[in-house]
């Protein structure tokens, strides 16, 4: 029997014997490990890393604010649309349009899928306690309290594909439909019947959006008019008070919507919009409200004998900062419900505004000036009109010039403490001044009580996105000799979705 071969066994034995030597050489070649850092060194390294992370977070926050401030009209934001962003400088804000005006939003559903529908909307409920004067001759007020389901708004947007969208916005006002009775202290304390087209259900938007390029897009149909801040920022989280600013609601229509065609777009940090729309009806003008009731809503249709032009533009020069302005021009006589004026009544309005919303700070301001041609003839035509109640025609003298000024500031108190989980608590102050009889024409004498001021202080609490709770006190006055002071207290709830 042959002997087994031992050659391979010898090699294996040699290899195994050499392993300890090889391992010891490798260990000798490996450099010695550094001693572990001490506790003090670890604390110092952690502190340095924390500072680095904070700097990076600040850079990210600044970048986010800048992006929000420079969103183009092709990148929509909420009220005209179904896409939502946060207000710049408000990490816990309800979905709002931030630095992008409502009228700028392209109102598109996300994506470009044909047949896709996306919903958004908001609601407002208010309670107020205020001095109440039976009429303008009363010197001693009563204290009255009211509650109001001010509005519920539903805004579905329908995507038609390839840049085409159909935008709608349906508003249910004051919790009901049909005719209402409105108290008019300026009309010697009369209770006036109000019958609005569609009752208290208003179709504020119904237009086709055609998106072609960031700098060139179209709207056709019932559109929001981009004049004045409240028409562009009208969701409850976008203004401090429980009701919209009186310096705007007593000056021009809010929320203003007309039938027309518009061109909008952006170039860098510049945004613009231009519209040709149905003009206002001067039979709705008044001494105390100027042209605020001039929007045609009493008939089943809108007269379009006179069209109007409105142009708006704004520029974001810093993250969270924006300045802009708008201009309106159109004849208001040709569209009167009754063809009772042969003269023109051209209306020219212009305003400038600015907004700064970043971190805990919010500052906003606006100035508006208007001139109305032949305001004395408008007054005479209104005085000789019959069916005035049904048509909403006021008998008060209309001014030829008007102006308004508003400035407000707020600060997030929670930013002073480490309580971000509580949301945001803004304390704010606002001052308003407006005069709808800044000048008059013909035999009309300026009425002092149409020169008004309001100083308002309050709180806005936003516990989470989509919810704002409001409280305010406002001292309101006018330059008349009677019924010239009013204390106003209010509570409100706003919801956005």
**Cα 266 off chain centre by:** 19
Per the structure block, which two tokens stand in for 25?
């050489």
Residue 168: CB atoms within 10 A of its CB come to: 17
pLDDT attached to residue 119 = 93
For the cut 60, the answer to whether the pLDDT of residue 456 exceeds it is yes
Per the structure block, which two tokens stand in for 278?
């149905």
7: burial class by Cβ within 10 Å (0-12, 13-18, 19+)? exposed
pLDDT attached to residue 259 = 96
| 210, 66 contact by CB (below 8 A) | no
| 389, 193 contact by CB (below 8 A) | yes
> 297-301, 357-361, 486-490: which range is least confident on average?
297-301
pTM summary value: 0.76
pLDDT attached to residue 48 = 79
**Section 436-454 average pLDDT:** 95
For the cut 80, the answer to whether the pLDDT of residue 107 exceeds it is no
199-233 pLDDT, tens digit per residue, is 478 889 999 999 999 999 999 999 999 999 999 99
Residues 6+ apart with CB under 8 A from 204: 153, 169, 170, 171, 222, 224, 255, 257
Residue 108 and residue 106: Cα distance in Å, rounded? 5
As a whole-number percent, the residues of the chain with pLDDT over 90 amount to 61
| Domain residue ranges of the chain, discontinuous segments joined by + | 46-496
Name the band, by pLDDT with cuts 50, 70 and 90, for residue 179.
low
Higher per-residue confidence, 342 vs 69: 342
For the cut 60, the answer to whether the pLDDT of residue 186 exceeds it is no
Superfamily (CATH) of domain 46-496: Porin (2.40.160.10)
> Taking the C-alpha atoms of 245, 362, 155 and 181 in order, what is their torsion angle to the nearest 10 degrees?
-20
Distances (CA, A) of 51 to 48, 57, 64: 5, 10, 20
**Section 408-424 average pLDDT:** 95
What does the buried/exposed string (b/e) look like for 460-474 if buried means 16 or more CB atoms within 10 Å of the residue's CB? bbbeebbbbebebeb
Residue 246 and residue 432: Cα distance in Å, rounded? 8
- Report the candidate in 234, 210, 237, 228 with the shortest Cα–Cα distance to residue 102: 234
Q: Is the peptide bond before 255 cis (omega within 30 degrees of 0)?
A: yes
For the cut 80, the answer to whether the pLDDT of residue 100 exceeds it is no
């Amino acid at each position: 029997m042959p002997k087994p071969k031992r050659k391979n066994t010898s090699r294996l034995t040699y290899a195994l014997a050499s392993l300890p030597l090889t391992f010891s050489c490798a260990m000798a070649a490996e450099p010695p490990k550094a001693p572990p850092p001490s506790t003090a060194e670890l604390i110092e390294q952690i502190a340095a890393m924390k500072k680095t992370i904070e700097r990076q977070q600040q850079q990210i926050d600044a970048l986010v604010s800048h992006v929000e401030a420079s969103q183009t009209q092709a990148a929509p934001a909420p009220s005209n649309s179904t896409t939502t962003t946060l207000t710049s400088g408000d990490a816990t804000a309800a979905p709002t349009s931030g630095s992008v005006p409502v009228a700028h939003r392209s109102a598109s559903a996300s994506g470009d899928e044909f047949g896709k529908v996306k919903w958004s909307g908001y609601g407002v409920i208010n309670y107020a306690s205020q001095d109440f004067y039976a009429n303008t001759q009363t010197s001693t007020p009563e204290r009255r309290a009211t509650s109001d389901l001010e509005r519920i708004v539903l805004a579905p947007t329908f995507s038609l594909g390839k840049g085409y969208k159909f935008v709608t916005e349906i508003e249910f006002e004051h919790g009901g439909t049909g005719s209402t009775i409105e108290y008019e202290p300026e009309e010697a304390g009369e209770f006036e019947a109000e019958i609005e087209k569609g009752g208290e259900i208003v179709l504020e938007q119904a237009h086709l959006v055609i998106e072609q390029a960031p700098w060139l897009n179209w709207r056709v149909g019932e559109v929001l008019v981009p004049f004045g801040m409240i028409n562009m920022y009208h969701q409850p989280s976008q203004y401090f008070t429980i009701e919209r600013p009186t310096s705007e609601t007593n000056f021009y229509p809010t929320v203003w919507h007309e039938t027309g065609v518009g061109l909008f777009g952006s170039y860098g940090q510049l945004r613009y919009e231009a519209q040709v729309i149905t003009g206002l009806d001067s039979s709705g003008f008044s001494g105390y409200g100027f042209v605020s009731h001039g929007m045609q809503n009493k008939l089943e249709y809108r007269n379009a004998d006179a069209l109007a032009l409105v142009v708006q533009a704004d520029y974001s020069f810093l993250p969270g900062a924006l300045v802009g302005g708008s201009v309106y021009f159109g004849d208001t006589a040709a569209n009167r419900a009754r063809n009772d004026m042969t003269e023109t009544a051209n209306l020219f309005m212009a305003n400038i505004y600015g907004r700064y919303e970043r971190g805990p700070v919010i500052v906003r301001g606006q100035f508006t000036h208007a001139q109305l041609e032949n305001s004395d003839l408008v007054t005479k035509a209104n005085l000789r009109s019959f069916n005035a109640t049904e048509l909403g025609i006021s008998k008060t003298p209309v001014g030829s010039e008007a102006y308004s000024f508003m400035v407000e500031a707020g600060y997030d108190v929670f930013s002073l403490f480490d309580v971000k989980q509580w949301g945001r608590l803004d304390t704010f102050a606002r001052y308003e001044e407006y005069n709808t009889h800044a000048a008059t024409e013909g035999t009309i004498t300026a009425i002092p009580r149409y020169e008004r001021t309001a100083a308002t202080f309050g709180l806005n609490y936003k516990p989470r996105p989509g919810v704002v709770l409001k409280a305010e006190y406002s001292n309101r006055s006018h330059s008349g000799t009677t019924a010239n002071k009013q204390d106003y207290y209010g509570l409100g709830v706003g919801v956005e979705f």
